[in-house]
Every structure is written in structure tokens, then in C-alpha cells.
Amino acid sequence: MRAVFDFAGKAEPLVDLLFLVVTGFVAWHGIRHRDAEGKTDFVRLLFGCIAAVFFVMVLLQDVLQVTRF
């Protein structure tokens, strides 16, 4: 199974964890963000959804080793 971060070597689990934390925060912030009037921002929603897709992909493929993409 080919990992996303082959260059990391022995530090791959740490790099995977760091990637999950960062993309998880970006996804959470982008999807949950509202302005003062309670409206969503299309660009934040877009990048939040993209980050969520990468979060799920790395989680399922590299950490849990459930599937291959």
C-alpha cells in the first residue's frame, strides 16, 4: 500500500497526525464559519469541503488502512 507521505520515512505517523490536525481544523473552520449576519462564505465552504475530503482520505488510507484511493 502506497502512503501519501512516502518521503517521511520513520516519522510518517507523526506527519499523518499533523496533517489530520491541520486539515481537520481547516475543514471545521471553513464549514462552520459565519459572518456577523449569519451568512456563509462560498470560498470558505469550498476550501473547508476540500480539506474534509483530504482529511477523510488520509484517515481511511494511511491511518486506518481501510481502503485505497
Q: Is residue 4 part of a domain?
A: no
Question: How many domains does the chain divide into?
Answer: 1
Q: Helix, strand, or coil here: 12?
A: helix
Give the pLDDT score at 24: 96
The three cell numbers locating residue 2: 502506497
Range of the domain at 27: 13-63
Which pLDDT tens digit goes with each residue over 17-56? 999 999 999 999 999 998 889 888 899 999 999 999 999 9
DSSP characters over 14-68: HHHHHHHHHHHHHHHHHHH---TTS---HHHHHHHHHHHHHHHHHIIIIIS----
- Which pLDDT score is estimated for 7? 66
pLDDT in the model for residue 20: 96
- The rounded distance, in Å, linking the Cα atoms of 4 and 13 is 11
- Residue at 40 is within a domain: yes
Query: For 3, how many CA atoms within 13 A lie in the half-sphere containing its CB?
Result: 17
